[in-house]
Amino acid sequence: MSFASLGLSDPILKAVAEQGYDTPSPIQAQAIPVVLAGQDLMAAAQTGTGKTAGFTLPLLQRLSTGEPVSANKVRALVLTPTRELAAQVGESVSVYGRYLPLRSAIVFGGVKINPQMMALRKGVDVLVATPGRLMDLYKQNAVRFDQLEVLVLDEADRMLDMGFIHDIKRIMALLPKQRQTLMFSATFSTEIRALAKGLLKSPVEVSVTPSNATAPTVAQWISPVDKNQKAPLLCKLIHQGEWQQVLVFTRTKHGANKLTRQLEANHISAVAIHGNKSQNARTKALADFKAGEVRVLVATDIAARGLDIDLLPYVVNFDLPNVPEDYVHRIGRTGRAGQVGQAVSLVCADELDQLRAIERLTRQLLERRVEPGFEPVHALADTQLKAPARDKAPRRKKPAKPGHRDGVRSGDLARGHRAPRS
């Protein structure tokens, strides 16, 4: 299958070819025809699967015809959870739409709003936005949705995790009822399905990645180590392995800043990226890292999704995430587009619960490698995929009372006695 066989126009095919692509990824092959047909779409796709082009290409195709956009209005709106992802999507729109007479803009917080208002003055065909800044612009009459044809919710699960649900609902109330809606999410969780039910009309569902699966191109292993020895161990791994480009995740902003100082003290160029950094500082840090001017990028989970770094060979979990799904998104920064990568986690005894949760979520026990000279004083206990059986004598089952089902009252199911998630 080729991109041409999907029905894309010559200007778009030319832009795609210039990026070196000739065969669509599975998510692109499934999503593009649905979007071109004007149907609503609910797509499950992990980062690194090509999902951004999966909606960008057909969106541009649809917008290449139709009425010109009026002042302060938009024809397509793409909502993203983070500034970094907004910038990535905006770049994709610009690259693939370079031979089309379309205008686009990117708006997010952390930078001055006036230039964004100026960019919207003539109207734009594609607006990529984070929810908070979009609402700010709407309140200042800088953007209107009368001409909106298509809405895209990118990484919808992340937006829910970050507490954007109220902003999303307020935005939805402003949009025309007659529109095409596309929702992309890493998983089809109960919460995502509930959101989709109120936003999409008879959507086509596509899924190209098993839920919470990690890419086979990523070699994963953990190094048991005491907490106070993590930074020295990381320095050793970088020096000894001659790692030249490493993305390191910490749990907190303070931890990111502290680790950056420790790396610099060991003659390893490093820069931190997190929510307390200004947008200009974050943009420069990422640009320097991509250009190879900085060896290590230390990030909090704000960068776990949306960062698009070509040929990134190493991801290190300096701290394990509290939410096990974030592990999948973190290590998804490497091993992309068929390339191989390594994901290393430095795990202390205090992180046993997080390790267990990650292994059960991904359904695999991670290989352990103890580095000589860094044997932990506080041993990391063994793990297993299934919870250990309780050593208790079986209780005699009492007959169910009237109005009960197998000893559970029918009303309990509606009050939170849910079946366990797999």
C-alpha–C-alpha distance, residues 330 and 246, integer Å: 12
Does a structural domain hold residue 413? Answer: no
Same structural domain for residues 228 and 132? no
Same structural domain for residues 101 and 200? yes
Residues in the chain: 422
Same structural domain for residues 358 and 339? yes
Pairing of strands 180-185, 41-44: parallel
Does a structural domain hold residue 402? Answer: no
Q: What share of the chain is helix, strand, coil (3-state, %, to 5)?
A: 40, 15, 45
**Do residues 241 and 295 lie in contact, with contact meaning Cβ atoms separated by under 8 Å?**
no
Does a structural domain hold residue 407? Answer: no
Same structural domain for residues 194 and 232? no
Does a structural domain hold residue 382? Answer: no
Residue 307 — very low, low, confident or very high, per pLDDT cuts 50/70/90? low
Does a structural domain hold residue 119? Answer: yes
Supply φ then ψ for residue 359, to 5 degrees: -65, -35
Does a structural domain hold residue 410? Answer: no
Among residues 162, 182, 207, which one ends one of the domains? 207
Does a structural domain hold residue 253? Answer: yes
Same structural domain for residues 176 and 287? no
* Burial of 356 (C-beta count, 10 Å sphere; 0-12/13-18/19+): middle
CATH code where residue 271 lies: 3.40.50.300
pLDDT at 210 over 60: no
Residue 143 — very low, low, confident or very high, per pLDDT cuts 50/70/90? very high
C-alpha–C-alpha distance, residues 116 and 134, integer Å: 10
C-alpha–C-alpha distance, residues 6 and 9, integer Å: 9
The number of folded domains in the chain is 2
Same structural domain for residues 193 and 235? no
Tokens for 357? 């949760």
Question: What confidence tens digit (pLDDT) does each residue in 118-139 have?
Answer: 999 999 999 999 999 999 999 9
Same structural domain for residues 45 and 107? yes
Same structural domain for residues 85 and 17? yes
Among residues 147, 182, 207, which one ends one of the domains? 207
Give the pLDDT score at 411.
Answer: 33
Who has greater pLDDT, 101 or 422? 101
* Integer angstrom CA distances of residue 224 from 42, 86, 199, 246, 356: 40, 36, 45, 19, 14
Does a structural domain hold residue 159? Answer: yes
Same structural domain for residues 203 and 307? no
Same structural domain for residues 194 and 129? yes
Same structural domain for residues 171 and 306? no
Question: What confidence tens digit (pLDDT) does each residue in 214-267 have?
Answer: 667 788 999 999 999 999 999 999 999 999 999 999 998 899 999 999 999 999
DSSP state of 418: P
Give the pLDDT score at 194.
Answer: 85
Pairing of strands 408-409, 404-405: antiparallel
Question: What confidence tens digit (pLDDT) does each residue in 64-76 have?
Answer: 988 899 999 999 9
Same structural domain for residues 200 and 223? no
**Structural domain boundaries, residue 51:** 4-207
* Integer angstrom CA distances of residue 168 from 41, 110, 188, 306, 342: 18, 19, 18, 19, 36
Tell which residue, 295, 183, 289, 310, has the closest CA to residue 243.
295
pTM score of the predicted model:
0.61
